[in-house]
Structure 1
Amino acid sequence: MLTFVVFVVGLVLVGGLLFLGAALLLGRGETQPPAELDRSPVELPDDRPVTGDDVRALQVSVTVRGYRMTEVDWLLDQLAQTIDERDVEIARLRADLEASPPSVVAEEESPRA
C-alpha cells in the first residue's frame, strides 16, 4: 500500500513539474503585441509593381513560438492593397482604351519605322 501511495505522489509530482515546465516554455496563451508597421523587416517595393519574385523573396521572421502572426497579417494586407491598386489601374486603362477612337488605337498598334 505504501508503494502505491509513493507511486501516485511521484506521478503527481512529475506531472506537475512537466506541466510547469511546459507552461514556462510555451507561455500561458498571451497574444503577442501588434507589429510596428513602420518598422517591419518585410517590405514590398514602392517604386514598381510587385512581382511574384518579390513575394517569393519575402522572409517573415520566426519567433520562439513560430511566425509573428501580426506581421504575416500586415504583409497580406499590404499585398492585397497592392493588388487592389493594380486592379483599379488596369480597369482605368481598359476604360481609357475603350473610350479612345478606333483610329487612335490603330495608330498605337501599328509598328513605327
Structure 2
Amino acid sequence: MTTALIYLVVMVLVAAVVFLLASVLFGRGEELPPLPPGASPTRLPESGVTAADLRTVRFQQVVRGYKMSEVDWVLGRLGTELEALHARIAELEAGRDAPAEPEPR
C-alpha cells in the first residue's frame, strides 16, 4: 500500500512539473485580437521603398515559420542592392540631364 501511495505522489509531482514547464514555454493560452481585414503587421511605404525600409521589415513568427537569421540576411542584402541601384540610376540620370559641352575644334 505504501509503495502505491509513493508512486501516486511521484506521478502527481511529475505531472505538475510537466504542466508548469509547458505553461512557461507555451504561455497561458492568451490570444491576441485578430487584425482588421486587410491589415498586415509587416510595414512598407506604399511607394519609394528604400534600403532602410527593407532593413527594418520584420515578419510574423509562426510555429512552422522561417529561419529569422536567413531572412534578415536576405533583407539586408536586398537593401544594399537596392541602394546601389538607386545610386546608379541617379548617376545616369544626372549625366543625361547635364548640358553637353561643346567639343573643341
Normalised by the length of structure 1, the TM-score is 0.37
More helix by share: 1
Normalised by the length of structure 2, the TM-score is 0.38
